[in-house]
Amino acid sequence: MTAIRIIAANTFREALRDRILYLFLGFSIVLLASSKLFGILTVGEQDKIIKDMGLAGIQFFLMLIAVMMSVLLISREIDSKTVYYILAKPVRRWQFLLGKYVGLLATVLVNLFLMSVMLVLFVWLYGGGFDPRLFLATSMIGLEMAVLVAFATLFSVLTKPILGSVFTLAVFVVGHVSQDLWLLTRHLPGSVGRTLVSLLYYVVPNLERFNFKTEVVHQLPIPAAAIGLSLVYGLVFTALLLVLACLKFEGKDLQ
């Protein structure tokens, strides 16, 4: 555990030193501020637009952080040869990988927290009242990012850095439309095709399971089971991806 914690802390510090993270944070602040401008352009509910813009902005920028950082996650360690020094110490490969994952996830979550606080403040400042449920929506975005960062970690050991980023981005896109695969199974005529599409549906993550934006923006009730099961789904999927990543990294030739 100590090894994982130290590697995670280093990854986090390294990520914070990357100016690109501050750039994204700045961008998100600008976006949240501009949401007020969109609010002025509308007739009626301004806070709905600010919430929609804010939540979508948070999701988008966190996704960018996950995608961009995944390029550097392992490759930078190999390029700078620091991985050899680390693995020469009593650190197992899976510990190294998990440390990198936790560090990257921590970076994402710290940004998420800052952006969430900012969003809640903006909504409050612009007359939408204090809406703590926004933290629920952003927490679920955090869970989505945990899955996405796990994918980024897996791809960083499976393939080349640029391809890893492209694949992570593809997972984000596909993950948000995969629900339609399930709908497709109902319309397919043959049982073989239906089974194949069903299998594909279960293999591809359904990131819409973590989407509670509509309920939060419109103040709708959210069943506790939906939150609980989404949590289980996200954690199990993340664990699966990390196990696969660790297995692959164990046998990876680092030369």
Smallest distance, Å, CB 114 to another protein?
21
- Contact track, another protein, 196-225, x by CB under 8 A: -----------xx--x-xx--xx-x-----
Dist CA 238 CA 152 (whole Å):
11
- Contact track, another protein, 4-43, x by CB under 8 A: ----------------------------------x--xxx
**Cα R_g (the chain), whole angstroms:** 20
Contacts of 134 (CB under 8 A, 6+ apart): 51, 54, 55, 116, 119, 120, 123, 216
Dist CA 239 CA 248 (whole Å):
14
Are the beta carbons of 216 and 133 closer than 8 angstroms?
Answer: yes
Dist CA 50 CA 71 (whole Å):
32
* Closer residue to another protein (CB): 56 or 106: 56
User: Residues binding another protein: what is the number (CB under 8 A)?
Assistant: 26
Counting contacts by CB under 8 A, is residue 79 touching another protein? Answer: no
* Closer residue to another protein (CB): 176 or 248: 176
Dist CA 51 CA 75 (whole Å):
37
Smallest distance, Å, CB 55 to another protein?
8
* Closer residue to another protein (CB): 56 or 244: 56
DSSP secondary-structure letter at 208? G
Counting contacts by CB under 8 A, is residue 64 touching another protein? Answer: no
Structure tokens at 52: 């929609």
The binding site for another protein (CB under 8 A) comprises: 38, 41-45, 48-49, 52-53, 55-56, 59, 172-173, 176-177, 180, 207-208, 211, 213-214, 217-218, 220
